[in-house]
Amino acid sequence: MAFFLGNVAWVRSMAKFWNFVLFQAGWFACVIGAANQQVFWPVLATLLYLAIHVWFAPRPIAELKLLLKAALFGAAVDTLIANWGFLSFENSWPSAHLSPVWMWTLWALVASTINSSLAWLRGRSILGVVLGAIAGPMSYEAGVRMGAGAWGANGQIGGLILLGLAWGVAIPLFFYWDRSAVGSSLLKNQP
**Domain assignment of residue 6, yes or no:** no
Nearest-angstrom CA–CA distance, 39 and 29: 8
Render the burial of 139-161: b for 16+ CB within 10 Å, e for the rest.
bbbebbeeebbebbeeebebbbe
Report pTM.
Answer: 0.88
Q: Please give the helix or strand (H or E) that residue 81 lies within, else none.
A: helix 60-83
Q: How many CB atoms lie within 10 A of CB 125?
A: 14
**Domain assignment of residue 97, yes or no:** yes
Closest CA to 135 of 164, 109, 106: 164
Name the domain count of the chain.
Answer: 1
Contacts of 157 (CB under 8 A, 6+ apart): none
Per-residue pLDDT of the chain (191 residues; tens, 9 = 90+): 444 445 656 566 788 999 999 999 999 999 999 999 999 999 999 999 999 999 999 999 999 999 999 999 999 999 999 999 999 999 878 888 899 999 999 999 999 999 999 999 999 999 999 999 999 999 999 999 999 999 999 999 999 999 999 999 999 999 999 986 555 444 443 43
Q: Which domain holds residue 41?
A: 19-182
Nearest-angstrom CA–CA distance, 51 and 84: 33
**Domain assignment of residue 122, yes or no:** yes
**Domain assignment of residue 167, yes or no:** yes
**Domain assignment of residue 105, yes or no:** yes
